[in-house]
Amino acid sequence: MEGQAETGQKKSKSLYWAAIVAIMLGLTALFQGVMRNNQLAQSVLTTDGEVALVLNRQRDGHFYAQGTINDTAIAFLVDTGASDVALSSAVAESLGLEFGPEITVMTAAGPVPGWVTRLDQIQVGPLLLRNVRATITDKLGEQALLGMSFLKHFSMIQEGDTLILAVAGEQE
């Protein structure tokens, strides 16, 4: 009887440690998945000399990128449905942008007032454009929309949870 009790205790301890190891492996895999999904972008130079920006879809289903407008850091939401790069009036004022002609901007929430402006330059990863049309509106927060006035200059390939923006050679 005593031998059976010891064997039962050994099995219980083994199962306990196996469960701890399994939980640790599961948490490690989960952490690595979260870290991979939180990596917004990486720049690559392909073997044929193509410069590319690889963006990872985030948990909310969108693609985000860090970049600059006129050498000032800006967080972008990639929006192929936006005709122009779009920024809030607060961000535009902080960048010292000129509020050009007033226009009506059609958004998912309906028409809103806006202004046309031009950006001296936008850089996202290795991708740089100069003299880019943009729209200013009061209905955006600190995050800018990276719209088609920038995106149309690059090839875009979406494969699963990856969006690749690329251009052949150097971009100026």
pLDDT, tens digit, for every residue of 113-125?
Answer: 999 999 999 999 9
Confidence at residue 40, expressed as pLDDT on a 0 to 100 scale: 60
Q: Is the pLDDT of residue 144 over 90?
A: yes
Confidence at residue 5, expressed as pLDDT on a 0 to 100 scale: 62
* C-alpha to C-alpha distance for 170 and 172, rounded to whole angstroms: 7
Residue ranges covered by each domain of the chain: 1-38, 40-168
Instruction: Measure CA 156 to chain center.
Output: 14
**Position 35, amino acid:** M
**DSSP letters along the chain, please?**
-HHHHHHHHHHHHHHHHHHHHHHHHHHHHHHHHHHHHH--EEEEE-TTSEEEEEEEB-TTS-BEEEEEETTEEEEEEE-TT-SSEEEEHHHHHHTT----SEEEEEETTEEEEEEEEEEEEEEETTEEEEEEEEEEETT--SSEEE-HHHHTTSEEEEETTEEEEEEEB---
Q: Is the pLDDT of residue 86 over 90?
A: yes
pTM more than 0.75: no
Rounded percentage of the chain residues whose pLDDT exceeds 70: 70
Could you report the per-residue pLDDT of 68-80, keeping only the tens digit for each?
999 999 999 999 9
Identify any residues that bridge with 121 across adjacent strands, giving them in sequence order: 130
Q: Is the pLDDT of residue 171 over 50?
A: no
* C-alpha to C-alpha distance for 87 and 136, rounded to whole angstroms: 5
Confidence of residue 127 (pLDDT cuts 50, 70, 90): very high
In CATH, the architecture of 40-168 is Beta Barrel (2.40)
Q: Is the pLDDT of residue 20 over 90?
A: no
Contact (CB, 8 A) for 150 and 138: no
